[in-house]
Amino acid sequence: MSRRVKRRYLALKIESAESLEEEDIKDAVWNAVIQLFGEYGASQAGLFLVKYDEKKGEAVLRCSLKALSMVHASVASITEIRDKSVALHVLRISGTLRALSQKR
Amino acid sequence: MTRFADLHLCAPFRNEEQLKRMTAKSFEMGYRLVGIPLPPNVESDQVKRVRKICSEVGLDLVSRVDLTPKNTNELLASLRRLRRKFEVVAVHCISKPVARQAAKDRRVDLLSFQVTKPWNRFFDRAEAELASESLASLEIDMAPLLSLDGSLRIRLVSSLRREAAIAESFRVPVVISSGATSDYLLRRPLDYSALAMLFDMDSSLASRALSEVPCGIVERNRLKLSPDFVAPGLRVVRRRDP
């Protein structure tokens, strides 16, 4: 029996001295999850970068509810992208994109 | 509303620009109480200056001293000299005798251990038993968890998991601090709470370690340092007008 996968959306604030591309953020998050929880953990995460605003330094990340704490810890553990210091902060977490934008 | 505290913000107190930037960042992250390590011989004017910078951004400063004694005699001498000068006293335990003495001394608030050498972390069951009978809490700095990688981080997480479990079973309070030396190493309280799951600390316990426990330590010490304090459980409520 297949069950609907419950998801969570995370609004992220990216602090960096240099501008970063979408691919950099994706790679950094994937690498952080793999580094902390391995490929088995990453396979459960259901990661997807929904939105990325380079100018504002904001992004929306989707993951499975089951892996939420794993993804949150991984995002918080990112300190470098392309050998430059960065900090990723989780601002809000929500079950739907609409609720995420309303929580502002 | 929960009042989050970071008792170990390693902002360089002589570098005013960075101090301002880090304290402003800390406020933005949601902290309202910050402990900044100050040198033991700090002048009261310098403390006032740092306190003013913190209050300008909306933070309550906690004066903190980090002691790294080589032996128990040095620890006792430092405590005698500095306890009434600082609101929080943290002891960085580099040897077992120092760790044992610090754990049983009621003048010590925080116990911290070496990060990169797991064999030099002395928070075992005996240490926890001593700490549970005094007022010392175990301090966990989160910055090394972010800055280390590979085998060093694996070893650190493993040590922290064991220590957090021991602390919980002996009811030793745990304080989670940032230990951040730059604003890129600062994280929000909820991020730290999520990172605490790496060493199997549940989110409610992690939340307490970021708010209630550090705030409780500061409140208790401020009460003791106030001129109205007479003895534990006894304080001056009102003075007769001369």
Closest CA to A86 of A11, A24, A27, A15: A15
- Indicate whether this complex's ipTM tops 0.85: yes
User: What would the pLDDT profile of A76-101 be if each residue is shown by its tens digit?
Assistant: 999 999 888 999 999 999 999 999 88
**B126 vs A100: CA distance, rounded Å:** 48
Calculate mean pLDDT across residues A1-14. Answer: 87
User: Which tokens go with A81?
Assistant: 């992208």
User: Which tokens go with B37?
Assistant: 């390590």
Predicted TM-score (pTM) of the model is 0.91
Q: Report pLDDT for A104.
A: 60
- What is the domain extent for residue A82? 7-102
Number of helices (H), then strands (E), belonging to chain A: the values are 3, 5
Give the best residue of A13, A18, A69, A88 to mutate against chain B (max B CB count within 10 A).
A69
Cα dihedral B103→B214→B7→B120 (10° resolution): 30
Q: What percent of chain B has pLDDT above 70?
A: 100
Which CATH number covers residue A47?
Answer: 3.30.70.3250
Q: Sorting pLDDT into bands at 50, 70 and 90, what band is B120?
A: confident
Task: Write down the residue that tokens 């309550």 correspond to.
Answer: B60
Is residue B241 over pLDDT 80? no
Q: Sorting pLDDT into bands at 50, 70 and 90, what band is A103?
A: low
Q: Which helix (H) or strand (E) holds B92?
A: strand B88-93
User: What would the pLDDT profile of A58-77 be if each residue is shown by its tens digit?
Assistant: 999 999 999 999 999 999 99
Does residue A64 fall inside a structural domain?
yes
Does residue A1 fall inside a structural domain?
no
Contact A38/B at CB under 8 A: no
Q: Report pLDDT for B86.
A: 94
Contact B188/A at CB under 8 A: yes
Does residue A2 fall inside a structural domain?
no
Contact A85/B at CB under 8 A: yes
Q: Report pLDDT for A2.
A: 64
Does residue A47 fall inside a structural domain?
yes
CA distance B84 to chain A (A): 37
For B121, residues 6+ apart whose C-beta sits below 8 A from its C-beta are B113, B114, B159, B163
Q: Report pLDDT for B117.
A: 82
Q: Report pLDDT for A4.
A: 83
Q: What is the DSSP letter of B46?
A: H
Q: Report pLDDT for B149.
A: 86
Q: Report pLDDT for B60.
A: 94
Q: Report pLDDT for B115.
A: 87
Number of compact structural domains in chain A: 1
Contact B183 A73 (CB under 8 A): no
A5 or B210, greater pLDDT? B210
CA distance B228 to chain A (A): 42
Q: Sorting pLDDT into bands at 50, 70 and 90, what band is A1?
A: low
Calculate mean pLDDT across residues B24-32. Answer: 94
Give domain B4-223's CATH superfamily.
Metal-dependent hydrolases (3.20.20.140)
User: What would the pLDDT profile of B138-184 be if each residue is shown by its tens digit?
Assistant: 999 999 999 998 899 999 999 999 999 999 999 999 999 999 999 89
Calculate mean pLDDT across residues B220-239. Answer: 88
Q: A15-21: long-range contacts at Cβ-Cβ below 8 A with a sequence spacing of 24 or more?
A: A15/A57, A15/A86, A15/A87, A15/A88, A15/A89, A15/B183, A15/B184, A16/A57, A16/A81, A16/A84, A16/A85, A16/A86, A16/A87, A17/A84, A17/A85, A18/A82, A18/A84, A19/A54, A20/A54, A20/A81, A20/A82, A20/A86, A21/A54
